[in-house]
Amino acid sequence: MHEFKSIKENGADPQLFIEAEEEKAELERNRLEAEITQQMFTLKTMVDLYLNG
């Protein structure tokens, strides 16, 4: 909660801080989803090569 107090003390709008944190979280989710998709594709390729190669 100290961060919110500091934001208010500095005159910043806490809502902007919250929105920025939400945007960072969404970007991280998107990055993780892309990484998982890549790993699944790699795994599928390895299994296909093992079974058919």
| CB-based contact 18:8 (threshold 8 Å) | no
Measured CA to CA, the distance from residue 27 to residue 50 in angstroms comes to: 35
Mean pLDDT of 29-51: 97
Average pLDDT over the chain, rounded to whole? 88
pTM above 0.75, yes or no: no
Amino acid at residue number 53: G
Mean pLDDT of 25-51: 98
